[in-house]
Structure 1
């Protein structure tokens, strides 16, 4: 029996039809110089230099995308399931990708590094979706940290491919990992022998862990009293240079948590839907957020005032990365596009004026003839599972 993923072959409400028509129209816009890929984009990281990014796709591919030329290259054989997270180990010249199938895949991205030619596989790890990854070093030794929907955090020895430590404390999926910069040696050329890891989860808790090669454990302060800054899932943790935290949450806010005030929020950025990502452009004094409502928002970090709303994506925005020395931000979405937005005042002002004129004309933003987004490569069942994964764990 044949199957169809075409929404037009199924009963739809008037509201669903209106949403489909709106997205079909918006898909034609050229805002942010869209680079179109074959499937939904679930994660993005720097691509080895300021002119490129690595992206993870729902179709299981990892690609390197050159932003200026739109050139893209698949850098590894496709995984058998959607890839949810990426990180690059500078120590080994290796890119790691977390997957729905519970595995972590790796591929060399630095052929000049001899150690990148013989990369051990990471085995005997998680029992559910891998949600987040972070590569770093301890005592000069390359390690990888991974978080999963199984609520575990694993510290991996990248030289052997074996787990060093398995940490349990969260009760739901681990969504993000961030190293406390104030736990690292300040102004020292010596490698860190330990650090404090902050973790975010769907259980809304932010927890802290002491990590070294010899041991790993939850710090007593976190064990007794985890940080509870949000009402529900916390998706992203970003430290600033002062060691304070910017967070993104499914409670429709991004927050600035101040360390000296016991992680009290002094800035709360309200959104109409889940906030998927947040980045802090420190030199510009701006915060950028990615929202499930398809928009990329730019805020004044000091006042919390909204500076600019970049409208171009026509599906949920899933990730952000700063490029160009913090003068631009790259956004990715399940609409299968990579887009770039300026964080310079003059460019933002020009975009706001163009958007105003388009609204006055009653036209769809940028509706001047780009090809429509390509259809998903997932089955109907996988589409439903992806939607559930993006909603909640």
Structure 2
């Protein structure tokens, strides 16, 4: 029997909102990642069969957690090796009520930190986070990360094996390790966001999943400012997403139609950033969000507070030094203090070789040379950037600039 549209929509919504919570609870109870995922899938299948008859429960997450836990009990009873795990599940099995609400976020927080454990390679952390917390299928993850499905399946298997064999603890790290481990979590979420941000319309938008997971992390760690900083950064970038390309061509920030920016996301991003900064522990994501807020709240390029942006990039270079930050700072200085000042910094970066092969270095240099009226040099720099550009949208934009020159 096919579920009615309303029930199907309720199950789909519960899958988005509750999958990670259900899986996290079962992993916490059984320690078995594969069993947890299998039983969670069974619970959602049971919802499709049962909710059309009995109605959508008031607390779908609690219903799904109980159904998944009962399914785990059934599986373990048939498995002699599951006797110890069954004992852990025995008390909940006798009591069909859901675990206390306060326990569920704790489990989900443990799951986030376990998926992003430094013992796992970064690609495995990303894949495991998308599978266990976001509920994406192996095929969806492979498609989003431009990897063959069999290779992605093996990556997930190896990650779970590493957790099991290396004894990676299923817990929130102790206080002395929290800053380092939190950085790893935030880096994974931002990588997921950026992977999806560049896609025009993926079937399961990774950028939206990253924002959702960041919201979860903010709720679970309200006293930590950097998760809020990352969430604010995602919201402020996401507000401009619809204007980043037009007809398959990259649209630079100064040419974007600001009337089409999502004002609700901008307002929320600024509010989230304000709450983070009120904790008075600045970090790289808060600074990046502050830069994004300067752009998002300015009515046009000319009235953008470029001196403030340059100062923020100077602070970012102190907190998280990198040549890419230096390149962005050079652009801000060019806009604040004049093209020659910014171009001198870009030429220093070029001479240092620290960004060799990075397409935005010659692209930035070309833009500044164009503004300075040095057309022949700009043309050569655009040609270099065109050869290095990784996406078709960027190549079309650079080719258009060359035609203009």
Alignment TM-score > 0.5, same fold: no
TM range (shorter): under 0.3
TM-score normalized by the length of structure 2: 0.25
TM-score normalized by the length of structure 1: 0.25
State the structure with more CA Rg.
Answer: 2
